[in-house]
Chains A and B, each alone.
With several copies, the nearest count.
Chain A
Amino acid sequence: MSAVLVRGEAWSKIPDDLYIPPDALEVILEEFAGPLDLLLYLIRRDNIDVLDIPMAEVTRQYMVYVEIMKAIKLELAADYLVMAAMLAEIKSRMLLPRPISSPEEEADPRAELVRRLLEYERYQAACENLDKRVRVGRELFLPEISMEARSLERPLPTVSLEDLLSALRVVLQREEAFAHHRIMREPLSVRERMTRILERIHSDGFTEFSGLFEIGEGKRGIVVTFLAILELVRESLVMMVQNEPFAPIHLKAAA
């Protein structure tokens, strides 16, 4: 990227003699990801040992950039000014004579700055490495094969008998609480038979009474069918028709 070169060449001194279109300048300066990035750039550009930063020189160069940014009215993050203050502070502490008598060497005023620069540099390297990785949509593409005979049917829910009965228990509990209704008196077999008879009557129109009985079911089955018919009649769900005494009895859905 030519920007590096431009920076390297162009911004090593105050740019009196330099002409860069203001837009390009902004682009260059905006590329710094923050004050630490700018500082690292200055240090690397001049081959400075991070562990022995010449504070006066680095601070001066840093301020040149900050002044340029201000001059071109780049929206300057407050963080740049905070860093400027920090650099100035370190510089002034470096100027103070160190107490020679102290057995342990007093901490270098630059230590915290160095720690931050090195830490940030590690993450910059991590960032760069991440950026260089092959990525989906840039170097890698994923197959997108369409499927022949795809069915969009959604499987139907299954219900267990236990689910059904527990639903019913809830109804019964409510019923106990309110007690307006008795759900039923008849045994289930009669209820079921009522449904079957209604189905037949419904589809056949007139149905012969005797045809509803299956002799093979035995006495119990016959009783169930008979009770079912009586219940249907009682609930006015079917009509019984007999044209004359002893004539065949017919059943018909209530009209």
Chain B
Amino acid sequence: MSDIRVRDIVQAALLVAGEPLTLERLGSLFADEAQPERATLLDALEEIRIACAEGPLELQCIDRAYRLQTRAEYAPWLNRLFAERPARYSRAVLETLAIIAYRQPTTRGEIEAIRGVAVSSDIIKTLLSREWIRQVGTKEVPGRPALYGTTRAFLEHFNLTSLGDLPSLSELRVVAVDQAGQAAEAHDTEAHDTEAHDTEAHDAEAHDAEAHDAERDRSEAAG
């Protein structure tokens, strides 16, 4: 074991410590009789700094403690390592978006009347923060509800030149009626899907509300 150098030990410690290490802490790795000089440790650190230059790591000194970290240039690749799978929007969100697209400018109350269930403010917030809808005015009725319409970002995401590219409702209706039989079954399983996505979604509150909606939707579809 005599061929293990101080520098290798210091490097191993920096790699596995999980936190910055001071010179004192690095010294404490060695048995009392083999305790290296401070200067030896500093030399070892300098050697490590130079050796790193070729690889993805760099030596960083934070408040008299040292750590190895990946260079910032590697972030684009490494971020993919930790990228979580994108969440999925619940059916409630998609239905609301579809109704806004076809019925814009429209209010939350109108959407609720069509969907037959409450539209939580989280659903609207989700769509607003995604910049797929925006408030285009207020309706002059008691309560002055916000009027929502779709945006350019919406067209871009769905690769539409204009809303006119969407199939007309009457076209959809024909398909819908034709498929009503199968779809009624399919909807049931989709509703389950929705709930499953909700559990992995980032905004627990938003999705609680949506899961609740999904639950209600489902019982209506069944009824």
- Decide if A and B touch, CB cutoff 8 A: yes
The answer to whether the Cβ of B6 comes within 8 Å of any Cβ in the partner chain is: no
Answer whether residue A4 sits at the interface, using C-beta atoms and an 8 A cutoff.
yes
Contact of B2 with A by CB under 8 A: no
CB distance from B71 to the nearest CB of A (A): 6
**Residue B98 lies at the interface, judged by CB distance under 8 Å to chain A:** yes
Counting CB contacts under 8 A, is A122 at the interface? yes
**Separation of A178 and B198 alpha carbons in the complex (Å):** 27
Cβ–Cβ contact B95 & A168, under 8 A: yes
Chain B residues with Cβ below 8 Å from A154 are 83-84, 86-87, 202
By a CB distance below 8 angstroms, the chain A residues around B168 are: 187-188
The chain A residue with its CB closest to the CB of B133 is A195
Name which of B57, B137, B141 has the most chain A CB atoms within 10 A of its CB.
B137
Give the Cβ gap from A132 to chain B, nearest Cβ, in Å: 6
Decide if B203 is an interface residue (CB 8 Å cutoff).
Answer: yes
Q: Does A123 contact B (CB under 8 A)?
A: yes
Scoring A180, A188, A253 by chain B CB atoms within 10 A of each residue's CB, the highest score goes to: A188
From residue 49 to 83 of chain A, which have CB atoms closer than 8 A to chain B?
Answer: 49-51, 77-79, 83
Q: For residue B200, which residues in chain A have a CB less than 8 angstroms away from its CB?
A: 44, 47
Which residue of the partner chain A has the closest CB to B120?
A77
Bound-complex Cα distance A78 to B18 (A): 45
Partner-binding segment picked from A10-18, A101-109, A142-150: A142-150
Q: Is the CB of B136 within 8 A of A199?
A: yes
Contacts of A121 in B (CB 8 A): 173, 197
Q: 1/0 contact trace for B167-198 toward A, CB 8 Å?
A: 11110110111011001100100111111111
Q: Report the Cα distance A187→B117, complex, angstroms.
A: 26
Give A97 to B81 CA distance when docked, in angstroms: 67
Q: Check if B116 sits within 8 Å of A34, measured CB to CB.
A: yes
Partner of A184, one of B87, B92, B103: B103
The interface residues of chain B lying within 8 Å CB-to-CB of A199 are 136-137, 149
Q: Which of A159-167, A207-215, A240-248 contacts B (4 or more CB under 8 A)?
A: A159-167
Q: How many A-B residue pairs have CB under 8 A?
A: 349
How long is the Cα–Cα vector from A163 to B197 in the complex, in angstroms? 14
Give the residue name and chain of the B residue nearest to A133 (CB): B158
Q: In the bound complex, what is the Cα–Cα distance between A45 and B196 (angstroms)?
A: 8
CB distance from B202 to the nearest CB of A (A): 6
Residues A127 and B94 in contact in the complex (CB < 8 Å), given A77-B118, A140-B69, A150-B75? yes
Asked if B67 and A118 sit within 8 Å, CB to CB, the answer is: no
Closest to A168 in B: B98
A96 within 8 A of B: no
A138 vs B76: C-alpha distance when bound (angstroms) = 9
Q: Which residues of A contact B192 (CB under 8 A)?
A: 1, 128, 131
Cβ of A24 < 8 Å from any Cβ of B? no
The answer to the question of B47 belonging to the interface, with a C-beta cut-off of 8 Å to chain A, is: no
A254 CA to B145 CA, complexed, in Å: 12
Q: Is the CB of B102 within 8 A of A168?
A: yes
* B16 lies within 8 A of A145 (CB): yes
Contacts of B202 in A (CB 8 A): 49-50, 154
For the A-B complex with A147-B69, A147-B78, A173-B176 known, give 6 more contacts whose Cβ atoms are closer than 8 Å.
A77-B118, A141-B75, A156-B87, A161-B159, A164-B101, A172-B173
Q: Interface residues, chain A, CB within 8 Å of chain B?
A: 1, 3-4, 7-8, 31, 33-37, 40-41, 44-45, 47, 49-51, 77-79, 83, 116, 118-151, 154-159, 161, 163-165, 167-176, 178, 180-181, 183-184, 187-189, 191-192, 194-196, 198-199, 201-202, 235-237, 253-255
List 14 contacting pairs A-B, 8 Å CB cutoff, sorted by A. Answer: A34-B117, A78-B118, A121-B173, A123-B99, A123-B114, A129-B166, A129-B167, A138-B79, A138-B86, A141-B75, A148-B70, A164-B101, A174-B115, A255-B140
CB-based closest 10 A-B pairs: A34-B117, A195-B149, A167-B94, A36-B116, A168-B98, A144-B18, A254-B140, A149-B75, A141-B16, A127-B98
